Structure 1
């Protein structure tokens, strides 16, 4: 019981550090935040910080991977197996849009990380860790089941391999959402909504090799 309590407390401290780091990185940028800033925000000591992370770079990487995993997990669990592949994909894309509206900080952080990744002083070990994370995400892509189902049932006729389609969808969706997501969701206007809806429709038409009817 005591060991379990310590484990839960350790997990909470790690989550608190990640939450504090995410907020500070978004507010001040990736290069301006120091360990003491994160510890102050999380109300934890430097000793506690170093129990979980060896450096700010490791914290930064942990935040990025956690956000991507949460994003993809939330989208994946909306897929309904009794739908055909196209229907599954449509549901997942629409949930993706809603998730981005509800969690604009996720989209902004992922964008900020991607822009600064090459410039940030990650160790070779951390870069290798992130490369493996990305490679696993590509090979076991969260969109792959819907796409392979669609190819098998005929609802998706695009000649490109499903894995290539999955990677294309992820890149284009994140690019669109990063352009129009608002820090304050209440400031999102009708034009933003129409852009998102039209983008999802066009993406579905492309992936499914459908003609676009006026």
Structure 2
């Protein structure tokens, strides 16, 4: 391994370590309260070393958000490739979203946070990926309307926006209220999600066609 390649690997490893430390800090302290000092301490680095990789907390947040949205898009794209009706693809994508959020609760905070523009951060990659996710939702909806698995009495672009907003709202509710739901309302997050998914299926499926 050459010197340049070794340095590039070391840089990538260090940046991954910083981001993993930051995810832990953001999950426990929140996106607003967490500080660069907290992240440096968790990563066991001096602030000077950390600043050589990321100029600010916002840059760290952006890097994590880029990874989160990219991973989520890859899951959606894989789910959409399966040979099935548009409705089943859409439900599968929603299941993937839930599994992703349950496995990576810290990631969801960044996806939600970067839905709004930050004046100090260039979030172009995040917005581009989020738009690609929305377009994928719309494409699958249009397929479902064409193959007869979904109703055709709505506009695909309007329903795609409605579904994306609904999915984000449900994930936000589960992530922020999960413990409260279990302890005070005796509601299991998994059952809540299945109820949400069933309502999606019932609202979207074409009643003239038998659905699995």
Runs of at least 5 residues in structure 2 that lack an aligned partner in the other structure = none
- For residues 79-116 of structure 1, the C-alpha deviation after alignment (integer angstroms, 9 at most, x for no partner) is 343212112112222222223223333334545x369x
- For residues 145-194 of structure 1, the C-alpha deviation after alignment (integer angstroms, 9 at most, x for no partner) is 422322332222344443433332222112112212347xx98x664333
Q: Which residue of 2 aligns with 1:168?
A: 162
| Contact 1:64–1:109 (Cα < 8 Å) also in 2 | yes
| Contact 1:53–1:59 (Cα < 8 Å) also in 2 | yes
How far, CA to CA, are the matches of 2:190 and 2:77 in structure 1?
A: 23
| Contact 2:145–2:151 (Cα < 8 Å) also in 1 | yes
- Structure 1's 96 and 133: CA in aligned 2 closer, same or farther, altered over 3 A? closer
How does the TM-score come out when normalised to structure 1?
Answer: 0.76
Tell me the C-alpha RMSD between the 2 structures. Answer: 3.2
- Structure 1's 132 and 39: CA in aligned 2 closer, same or farther, altered over 3 A? closer
After TM superposition, the structure 1 stretch with the greater mean CA deviation from structure 2, 52-61 or 37-46, is 37-46
How does the TM-score come out when normalised to structure 2?
Answer: 0.77
Find the partner of 2:201 among 177, 200, 204: 204
How far, CA to CA, are the matches of 2:167 and 2:33 in structure 1?
A: 29
How far, CA to CA, are the matches of 1:132 and 1:108 in structure 2?
A: 17
1:95-114 to 2 correspondence within 5 Å? 95-111=96-112, 113=113
1:47-66 to 2 correspondence within 5 Å? 47-66=48-67
